Each structure stands twice: as structure tokens, then as C-alpha cells.
Amino acid sequence: MHVPARPYSFFMAIQDIYPTALRLLGRPVLVVGGGRVAARRAKGLLDAGAKVTVVAPVASPELHALSDAGLLAWEPREYRSSDMDGMWFAQTATGVPAVDSLVSADAEANRVWCVNASDHEASAAWTPAVAEVDDVKIAVNAGGDPRRAMALRDAVATALETGDLPLRRRRVPTVTAAGSVALVGGGPGDSGLITVRGRRLLGQADVVVADRLGPRELLNELAPDVRVIEVGKTPGHHPVPQAEINRILVDEALAGHRVVRLKGGDPYVLGRGGEEAEFCRRNGVEVEVVSGVTSAISVPAAAGIPVTHRGLAKGFSVVTGHEELSEVPARPDHTVVLLMGVSQLRESAAALALAGLPLDTPVGIVENGYLPNQRVTIGTLGTIAAQAEATGVSNPAVIVIGDVVRVSPYAPAHFKTADYSTTSPNKPRVVTN
């Protein structure tokens, strides 16, 4: 039985464009036109390493500057068909359709790819909207609509820069690249409070050395082959000593990995980031520090407590509960922020009282700031330790001591009578029920 051969089926493409990229390093290209578009295209071609010749009777100041600097050759005359000889690529940008069509036709006859700025439908090549993020180049064509292409390009570039799209390399380089360490402050715990730069570096990481605090949810978004090394500490329990953390960072970077040290808050605010950066540099490892939203300021803000407030406090001190408090100004108008201070709250309150801070000074404790289980406890210097023990306050928590606590919407009503107006400092604000 003879089965006839199945005829080929042909499908008309919606758009007969084959996306590709040109390597023009050291190759001659032609730009015909001397205006703004010509200057923009000439700069892009120079960035690609091409040898650019511009043909135009009059050139813009930008093209003049490039010519005067010897970066391109400018022929101050009308276009001739012989200008196409020996070219690898051509760009028309005269704004005169007849001239642009002639250039395009000459390019076609010489089998030279040409972008015709006057008629994209007749153009043998299109110039996409381009953006670069690290070593990734994004090129977008949008049916001949340049503004649409630019909008899409910007959206993709933003998604890459913010870590919403993966930037991490997948192909192992033939030569082992130098590794690096980024000390990234992840903020107080909510994954939306990490900086754009921090999120981007996290998305590029090969190895993440993670603390117990910080945006833990982001670890779930890492690729399966990204290694996460847990080095988290709890008060009084340091399973991975700081010296070992320092060694891990250096060893992983020297192995050619991109390492992110993901820390809660800000790595330079009581986070030992300075020690880690110093150790890496001393061992020849490149370090980048990405500041985070420090819990010392952001967590009080989550409970409506500013660390400074007009008429209440012009300055603040940040210390740990393990530090000596005798040098801290003992005044209600100077805010004291205690980090990691729950276990020694009673001793810290007694030390501040001994230094002269009134026992009726307001105190606020914010546990798990910005997280769903955030809890706020407000009392006074004389009562807060007993309140914290009675309600089972635990870390992570930030303790704020000073008159700024009166501003919090969680503060009891009688605290408000001692608050101040933001427009007339030092005048009590009248509270009406």
C-alpha cells in the first residue's frame, strides 16, 4: 500500500522578524544623517566597538563633539551610493524619506543590513529598545512601536534590578571568576523592606550565609542549587562563632562564588558587619556593603513611635541591653533605643533610673516589628520590666525609652496629655474625648 508523502505546511509568521545580536567590534558601519536620532544611534554603535562613519551636510553638536574627539569620522556632505562600499551595517536617520530609501536600497544591493528610520515596514533591520543590567542586555521589539518597546524594556529592566526576575548566571565559566561577598541588610524581617540593591544581589547569589532574623521568606525564592548556610544566633547561644562566619565568607568567595551575607536590619548597626568586611578585605576578597532598614528606627516606627519628634526629642542613642548605660543622656527628651535588651530589661531600667531618668518616663516595647504577630507593650521606666515579665515579652524586640513613646497610637490616653504640638514646640496638646 502506497501512502503519499504528507505535503509540507507553511505558516505565515505574524511578524517576519528573526531576533539576533550583531558583533560589530572593529567593523565599519555607516550612519547617514546628522540630527538627534543619528547621534543617538552613532553613540550606540560606538559603544558596540564599531568604526563609525557619519555622512551628513550638517551635524548636531553631539556628533561634532564625537568627531572632534576622534571617536568617529564625519563626512560633511550629501550621501553617495559609494559610501556603502565595504560597510557591515548601515543606519539611516536623515528624516528625508527619499534619501533614507536610497540608502536602504543601496544597502540591500550590497547585502548590508540597514535600519531605515523613515519606514520601519520597509527596513531590513530594526533597532530594539535596549537596556543593560549587569552583563545582561535586554532588547525589545514591539511591532514597530518604539514607545511601546521602551515601556516594555523599562519594565523588564526594573524587574531584573529588583530581583523579581533571575539574574544569576547558569553557565559555569571556563575560567573560574573571582568571587565576592555582599553584606546585605535585610531590614527588620518583612520581605518587602529589603532594599532594591539587596534583593538584586540576593537573586544573583551562589551562596547565602543567613542570620536567624531578616527576610527569611526570600530564601524560599532562591534557585534549588543556591546553598544556604545557616549561622543564626540567639541571645546567649552562638552555634557558629563569629570567627567561623568570617572564615566561611572568605572560603566561599575564594572558591569563585558570589556570596551574600544576609543579615537582619543593617549590617553596620550592631551587626558586626564591620568585622566581616575587614576580614574579607584582609584576605583579598571584594566586599560590597548594602545598608538595610535598621530595626533601631524602623521597628519603633511600625508602632507609631518616632525616635525624634519636634518638641519631644532632638536626638537618640542606640545601644544593646548588654552595654553600659551610664554614659547615655538620662533625660526624657533624649530617646534611648535598646536592641537585644529583653533579658536585661530590669537591670537596664534600674541603671537609667540611677542615672537620673524619671521613673514615669514612657517606655515602649515592639516585638516582631512589621510581622503579622507584632505586639506593642507600653509602660513607664518604673513599670515596664514587670509588664514585660507578666506578658512574656521575648526577642526579637526593640525597646524605646523616652517621651517620643507618647506619640504612639498604642499609648494609653493619659500619656497623650503630656504630648506636644508639632507646630508649637513645648506646648501641651489638648486631647478631647
User: What is the set of active-site residues?
Assistant: 211, 233
**Inter-residue contact 431 to 417 (CB < 8 Å):** yes
**Inter-residue contact 349 to 399 (CB < 8 Å):** no
State the Cα–Cα distance between residues 56 and 50, nearest whole angstrom: 18
User: Could you tell me which residues are beta bridge partners of residue 55?
Assistant: 32, 75
Q: How many CB atoms lie within 10 A of CB 430?
A: 9
The contacts of residue 419 (CB under 8 Å, 6+ apart) are 312, 406, 407, 428, 429, 431
Own/partner pairs for 217-220, CB < 8 Å, 24+ apart?
217/191, 218/186, 218/191, 218/194, 218/262, 219/262
Nearest by Cα to 30 from 60, 72, 58: 72
State whether residue 363 is helix, strand or coil. Answer: strand
**Inter-residue contact 378 to 363 (CB < 8 Å):** yes
**Inter-residue contact 119 to 92 (CB < 8 Å):** no
**Inter-residue contact 118 to 110 (CB < 8 Å):** no
State the Cα–Cα distance between residues 398 and 369, nearest whole angstrom: 8
- Annotate 279-288 with b (16+ C-beta within 10 A) or e (fewer): bbeeeebebe
Q: What are phi and psi of 375, to 5 degrees?
A: -140, 140
C-alpha neighbours within 13 Å on the C-beta side of residue 184? 34
Q: How many CB atoms lie within 10 A of CB 304?
A: 16
H helix runs in 27-165, sequence order: 36-47, 61-68, 97-109, 146-161
The contacts of residue 3 (CB under 8 Å, 6+ apart) are none
Q: How far is CA 197 from the centre of its chain?
A: 2
**Cα separation values, 387 from 24, 346, 371, 378, 379, Å:** 72, 10, 22, 8, 7
